[in-house]
């Protein structure tokens, strides 16, 4: 089965082709960062308009990369939610139109399930069950995963997601959007001894997160230093280092706690923040001490992309799931509402 995947949930247009026989055949991604940078964040209307301009040319580019004709595509998968409603509608409408014109089935895919399954694109894949840390600009969740569609929420952020907290901390330091990579970049030159920021909710029972207090502490630190004059590059680096260390430490502690609670030894980490090198290193080091393994996608598949949508869609399409006649998108969509496909394993799908 050859599945075309289309991702348009926010500010990146991703398209890919996935074959259940040969794996990932082609993929491409267009980022709108430059469009939104001057506004310091994503402008939904601009995002939707850019998806309209970019989606079909990217579809043709991917078909060309794979030396495919439209008749070689067996199904179309697209992001149906969660995300920006206008951006989702663009992708859904184009995907459904292509599927109708080509005479193939279409399926709306859950964006976070796509992220969760993205490590399955790698050669070393995690076996079920495992704990997943989904950490991005819009979500920070710990989920127990017993199979595709078999999800139990263990904990989530009570306020901002980790990626959103990174962006806001970067804005406090006068760094350009998107903030996460900027914080990570300058934190490499920061001191580990100058500031110690709080690790939110690590002394509370349970697996929920909260980053609002950490943001407040960051803002207070910035304002205190600004009373003495403009922030120097070293000031910014030291604050960025302290902030990053606090977020990373909090995530690592909660992941370790989740694995212990569930009695599991495999952790999957996915989403844009999972590309953070410090987070990867600390998770691998600390969890290895308790015999746990960490799996994550290649950096190019950590952010939003069409490959994860094509893969996730292929699993559900092979299980017989297809869209009805009505086009539906869901800006808010709990992943735990997804139906399980426990009767069909990932390895079985890959043999189709």
Buried b (16+ CB within 10 A) or exposed e, 293-316: ebbbbeeebbbbbbbbbbbbbbbb
Identify which of 323, 334, 302 has the alpha carbon closest to the alpha carbon of residue 135: 302
The annotated binding site for Fe cation is made up of 111, 115, 304
Give the number of C-alpha atoms closer than 13 A to the C-alpha of residue 333, restricted to the C-beta side. Answer: 22
Torsion of CA 101, 107, 111, 113, to 10 degrees: -150
Annotated binding site for substrate: 134-138, 167, 180, 276
Q: Look up tokens 């992309």; give the residue.
A: 305
Q: Mark residue 2 as left, alpha or beta (left: phi above 0; alpha: psi -120 to 50; beta: remaining).
A: beta
User: Cβ(17)–Cβ(25) under 8 Å?
Assistant: yes
φ, ψ for residue 61 (rounded to 5)?
-60, -45
Query: Rounded CA gap, 67 and 62, in Å?
Result: 8
Give the residue ranges of the annotated binding site: 111, 115, 134-138, 167, 180, 276, 304
Angstrom distances, CA of residue 104 to CA of 62, 89, 161, 205, 299: 18, 19, 37, 49, 31
Residue appearing with tokens 């009805």: 324
Q: 82 preceded by cis ω (within 30°)? A: yes
Q: Which of 113, 40, 54 is nearest to 83 (CA)?
A: 113
């Amino acid at each position: 089965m050859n599945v075309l995947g289309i991702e348009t949930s926010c500010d990146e247009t991703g398209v890919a082709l996935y074959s259940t026989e040969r794996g990932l055949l082609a993929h491409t991604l267009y980022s709108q960062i430059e469009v939104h940078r001057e506004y310091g964040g994503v402008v939904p209307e601009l995002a939707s308009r850019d998806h309209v301009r970019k989606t079909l040319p990217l579809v043709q580019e991917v078909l060309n990369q794979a030396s495919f004709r439209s008749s070689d595509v067996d199904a179309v998968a697209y992001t149906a939610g969660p995300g920006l409603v206008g951006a989702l509608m663009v992708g859904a409408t184009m995907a459904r139109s292509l599927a109708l014109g080509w005479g193939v089935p279409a399926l709306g895919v859950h964006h976070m399930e796509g992220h969760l399954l993205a490590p399955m694109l790698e050669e070393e894949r995690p076996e079920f069950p495992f704990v997943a840390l989904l950490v991005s600009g819009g979500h920070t969740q710990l989920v127990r995963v017993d199979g595709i569609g078999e999800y139990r929420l263990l904990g989530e952020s009570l306020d901002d997601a980790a990626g959103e907290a990174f962006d806001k901390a970067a804005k406090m330091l006068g760094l350009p959007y998107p903030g996460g990579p900027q914080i990570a970049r300058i934190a490499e030159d920061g001191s580990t001894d100058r500031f110690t920021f709080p690790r939110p909710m690590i002394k509370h029972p349970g697996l929920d997160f909260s980053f609002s207090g950490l943001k407040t502490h960051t803002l207070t630190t910035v304002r205190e230093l600004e009373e003495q004059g403009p922030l120097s590059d070293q000031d910014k680096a030291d604050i960025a280092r302290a902030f990053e260390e606090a977020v990373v430490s909090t995530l690592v502690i909660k992941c370790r706690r989740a694995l212990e609670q569930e009695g599991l030894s495999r952790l999957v980490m996915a989403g844009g923040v999972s590309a953070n090198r410090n987070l990867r290193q600390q998770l691998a080091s600390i969890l290895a001490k308790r015999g746990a393994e960490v799996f994550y996608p290649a950096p190019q598949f950590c952010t939003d992309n069409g490959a994860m949508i094509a893969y996730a869609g292929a699993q559900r399409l092979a299980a017989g799931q297809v869209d009805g006649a009505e086009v539906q998108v869901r800006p808010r969509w709990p992943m735990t509402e997804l139906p399980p496909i426990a009767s069909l394993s990932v390895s079985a799908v890959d043999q189709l």
